[in-house]
Structure 1
Amino acid sequence: MLGKLNKKQVIPVISIKNVQKIFPSKQGQLRAVDDVNLEIQEGEIFGVIGYSGAGKSTLIRMLNGLELPTNGTVTVAGRVISKIKGAELRKARQEISMIFQHFNLLWSRTVSENIAFPLEIAGIKDPERQKRVSELIKLVGLEGRENAYPSQLSGGQKQRVGIARALANNPKVLLCDEATSALDPQTTDSILELLVDINKRLGLTIVLITHEMHVIRKICHQVAVMEGGKVVELGQVLDVFKNPQQAITKRFVQQVTEPEETKETAEHLIERYRSGQIVQLTFVGGSAEQPVITNVIRNNNVTVNILQGKISQTQSGSYGTLFIHIDGNEADVNKAVDYIRSQQVGVEVVTNEQ
């Protein structure tokens, strides 16, 4: 009994239990969120991915009370957000900040004044407010742009202002609503790197919604895949990449692991290499860092050509795909393929010897 009492209980910073959100429509009731259950731990970067209409935006808006669930409970940082109102909800929202796809900055205010705005609302006096603004400008890399107006900033700089403003009141949770969708790929990566840095420095819990698997792959620890208002798949990002279960998840994973030209490339390779086997290899975690190809050549009487490949990093490890052509007599080629399989590498034969 004493052992049970002494054992530390891990309490999630966000708990979503049996949550539904139903909207009336001309066709009847629309279940935007349908019986969702999620737990998000403190300090975690949690991604929610889905196509338009999946319910992800409605779900994230219930985390700060912008939407109320039709059924179920939403608890954030110890408060049941789905039940509180008025002053208590306003106080809770100081601990649950949000950044948006289109920045939502005040265009008549400078960078410093935008960041100071939530501090003014919270009643923070001027000297302390200015000190906090200076800290945040440095944190998000906007030194020298303090007196610029939003119209004078790039998209990435605007989002950095949005992030700094969201951090002003030292929140426990940061919600990101398609925060990089309006940005070019290079700027997207710089914003994602900033979010990872903030997560590590401040221990901040981050929840983001997106339709881009690149965003999930780059920064998230866990991911929930939504379709038709339901969470259809949930797990550690590397595990989901390694073994996606649902068709929609497989399509998202292919966004990152298989470029659009992969099918055309495979068809071209089949025409080009009439002998041997073209094999697609999938590497996960430690296997991505092992000299598998070197060992295949060294231990088997075959030749190996690397045709196309890509290795991506997730927060939990590496994930990659590689197309190779293995040539030699049939027995040696099959032996080489069997060896690769024994190294915890996924193997899919694209074409057999003809």
Structure 2
Amino acid sequence: MITIKGLNKVFTAKDRNITAVDNLTLDIKEGEIFGVIGYSGAGKSTFVRLLNRLEEPTGGNITIDNQEITALNTKQLRAARQEIGMIFQHFNLLWSRTVADNIAFPLEIAGVPKSERQKRVQELIELVGLAGREHAYPSQLSGGQKQRVGIARALANKPKVLLCDEATSALDPETTNSILDLLVDINEKLGLTVILITHEMHVIRKICNQVAVMEDGKIVEQGDVLDVFLRPKQPVTRKFVEQVMGVNDEDEGIDHLIGTYEHGKLLRLHFIGETTNQALISQVSKKFNIEVNILQGKITNTQRGAYGTLFVQVIGESQEISQAVGFITEETSVEVEVIHDAE
């Protein structure tokens, strides 16, 4: 659906060059929600603006739905942009226009007849959950409602791709979740390819299928969201995972656990996908002559399934404990790590 090869963007400021996007190559499949995450200055917002040429690339090429965006002239680009919707962090609404008129604006520019515009606007108002607010002005709306208007406006021309540049950063957590749920609903109903730019890992965790991590204009890590959460390779990725899982607090707590429990083995269990719902502790306790004490743990969810970490103390004969660990390792998809052996 989207193929990006060797994409570069260099800005010139005060007689020096600043590389915002550095030789970026990426493939995004049709119909998926693809997340791009990075801290401020990583180049992610510049990257998303290059996709519809709100910023002109210094080098490289972008192909969307078999059309090379970087090769289009001004007239061709104007037509191509109708198939690339975009929503922004600060909404970018027309404050002198009502909700309905804001949504209708891109249809007016495209020359869509009034009766057809009105029908399309009403469909979109229903889709984004703004029924009854058609005649309200932006100043009369909450932040979440403003973003819903922005989403409806971006969908007006029935685009194939929806670009979201920090679309939830200005919203409170509850409103953020409602907007993310709406994006998932739109993705499923319309089959849109969604590219989501953010600096918040919980946004990636909640709705994205794939994620690319940006740092200094480069993609430093990429993959399935669940895989990246489970096995982050780069320091910047591990920091983002800590936002959601509190890994630092967890690891600091290991020393406390080791110092507190003087018998048996301390195990760290990594649950992935469906295994998070299995009654594993009960099953192992019944099958083997051991005592299992749950010490602490945390489970979170991604689009591909849940995963989590559980710390347990196992008390019993060494042979029984070894058999129990072997059973978990061989008969389930739970990963086992012995972090302390007090025997």
Identical amino acids, percent of aligned pairs: 61
User: Size of the alignment, in residue pairs?
Assistant: 342
d(CA) in 1 for partners of 2:340, 2:232: 23
The reply to whether residue 344 of structure 1 matches residue 333 of structure 2 is yes
The reply to whether residue 157 of structure 1 matches residue 148 of structure 2 is no
SS in 2 for 1:43: coil
SS in 2 for 1:171: coil
Deviations 1:193-241 (A, max 9, x none): 1101100100001001111111111111111111121111121222222
Give the TM-score normalised by structure 1. 0.90
Q: Are the counterparts in 2 of residues 330 and 353 from structure 1 also a CA contact under 8 Å? A: no
Q: Aligned residue for 2:282?
A: 294
Residues 105-184 of structure 1: pairs in structure 2 closer than 5 A: 105-184=93-172
Q: Aligned residue for 1:318?
A: 306
Shift of 1:177: 0.3
The reply to whether residue 58 of structure 1 matches residue 58 of structure 2 is no
Shift of 1:48: 0.8
Q: Aligned residue for 2:83?
A: 95
Residues 197-276 of structure 1: pairs in structure 2 closer than 5 A: 197-258=185-246, 261-276=249-264
Q: Among 173, 195, 203, which residue is 2:183 paired with? A: 195
Shift of 1:78: 2.8
d(CA) in 2 for partners of 1:179, 1:210: 8
SS in 2 for 1:82: helix
Shift of 1:152: 1.7
Shift of 1:331: 4.3
d(CA) in 2 for partners of 1:157, 1:53: 29
Deviations 1:15-66 (A, max 9, x none): 1011111222458432211111111121111111111121111111110101
CA separation of 1:28/1:329 partners in 2, compared to 1, >3 Å: closer, same or farther? Answer: farther
SS in 2 for 1:17: strand
Q: Are the counterparts in 1 of residues 241 and 247 from structure 2 also a CA contact under 8 Å? A: no
d(CA) in 1 for partners of 2:212, 2:329: 29
Residues 27-46 of structure 1: pairs in structure 2 closer than 5 A: 28-46=16-34
Matched AA of 2:70: S
d(CA) in 2 for partners of 1:305, 1:152: 54
Q: Aligned residue for 2:60?
A: 72
| Cα RMSD, aligned residues only | 2.0
Q: Aligned residue for 1:7?
A: none
CA separation of 1:225/1:201 partners in 2, compared to 1, >3 Å: closer, same or farther? Answer: same
Shift of 1:155: 1.3
d(CA) in 1 for partners of 2:64, 2:245: 34
SS in 2 for 1:234: strand
Q: Are the counterparts in 2 of residues 62 and 82 from structure 1 also a CA contact under 8 Å? A: no
d(CA) in 1 for partners of 2:292, 2:15: 58
CA separation of 1:184/1:274 partners in 2, compared to 1, >3 Å: closer, same or farther? Answer: farther
Shift of 1:242: 2.9
SS in 1 for 2:336: strand
Shift of 1:188: 1.1
Q: Aligned residue for 1:353?
A: 342
5+ long unaligned stretches in structure 1: 1-12
**Segment drifting more, 34-43 vs 264-273:** 264-273
d(CA) in 1 for partners of 2:97, 2:255: 55
Deviations 1:225-279 (A, max 9, x none): 1112111112122222232222222222232233664345444434443333333
Deviations 1:276-333 (A, max 9, x none): 3333221122333333222221222222222333322222222222222223344444
SS in 2 for 1:72: strand
